Amino acid sequence: MFSRDADIAGGPGAAATARRIVESELTGRLPPQVVDDVTLLVTELVANGVRHGGAGTDSELHLLLQGDEPGLHVEVSNPDNGSDLPARRSADLTGGGGIGLNLVDTLASRWGIRSIPRTAVWFEFDC
């Protein structure tokens, strides 16, 4: 069992920082394909937090990784507690957008959204 919490500075470098944390924590603990999938999903959720969740350079996102037999729980919390919860929408492959939560839905075993105390998207992998 392991747990890692990290506050990640918002803004354009947030996704890269989150990727490094995920890779350093999960490489060697989980199969490489699971590490790749988790890294991709965290990148998408952090990018959404920057773009839609108020995670500018003057704020932070929160990343939680919790591993326990037989799976992994991951959560990305935005700095805001806005009234607009994230929602899946059709992917716009020409203009961008709508891809992140569709990827989460496709790759994760389970996922959801909570709004208290901060807006967060979580997902789980059965490994």
- How many domains, the chain? 1
Distance in angstroms (rounded) separating the CA atoms of residues 101 and 127: 20
- Phi and psi (nearest 5°) for 68? -155, 145
Domain of 46, CATH number, reads 3.30.565.10
Confidence of residue 103 (pLDDT cuts 50, 70, 90): very high
* Residue range 49-66, pLDDT digits in tens: 998 888 899 999 999 999
Q: What is the pLDDT of residue 30?
A: 92
* pTM metric for this prediction: 0.90
* Residue range 4-47, pLDDT digits in tens: 999 999 999 999 999 999 999 999 999 999 999 999 999 999 99
Residue 10: domain span: 2-126
